Amino acid sequence: MQITQLPFNQHIDLQSDGDVVFLKQQPCLLNHVGSLHASVIHALAEGASGHYLILNLLPLFPHSIVLVKKAAIEYKRPAMQQCSAKADVSPATLQHCIDTLKRRKRTILTIPVNVFCDNKIIATAEIDWWLKIEA
């Protein structure tokens, strides 16, 4: 699976390149002042966190259920052009998650995400994912 294959992500034309996801500004994604709508920036952050899971955990646990449990985002400035987002999980946090999944078959992983526009952080987010390994 790729994050770009999910129907909503196709609708907003979410793209990926390596470990980064991005959106190009389109008129249908803008708000009343001409910047990217807050909900679109949120979707970009969530997409980056899901992309991280697909790249780093699902290859190890292909029979998993993953669902967002909680999300928090802080908007820092308007997004006036193409935006990108990248998850920022420490190797120790990833390893703890892997160890817990092996032991308990379920866990919650908090994935921090930075959203960039013109090389400046325009939003930060934390997405909590509930993960469960199916037998």
Confidence at residue 1, expressed as pLDDT on a 0 to 100 scale: 83
For 14-49, the pLDDT digits (tens) are: 999 999 999 988 999 999 999 999 999 999 999 999
DSSP line for 37-97 = -HHHHHHHHHHHHHHHHHHHTTTT-SSEEEEEEEEEEEE-S---S-EEEEE---HHHHHHH
Q: Label residues 11-20 b or e (16+ Cβ within 10 Å = b).
A: ebebbbeeee
> What 8-state DSSP symbol labels residue 34?
S
Q: What is the pTM of this model?
A: 0.95
Confidence at residue 81, expressed as pLDDT on a 0 to 100 scale: 85
For 63-104, the pLDDT digits (tens) are: 999 999 999 999 999 998 889 999 999 999 999 999 999 999
Confidence at residue 9, expressed as pLDDT on a 0 to 100 scale: 96
Domains of the chain: 3-133 (3.10.129.10)
Confidence at residue 61, expressed as pLDDT on a 0 to 100 scale: 96
> What 8-state DSSP symbol labels residue 29?
G
Q: Is the pLDDT of residue 135 over 80?
A: no
CB-side neighbour CA atoms (13 Å) of 124? 5
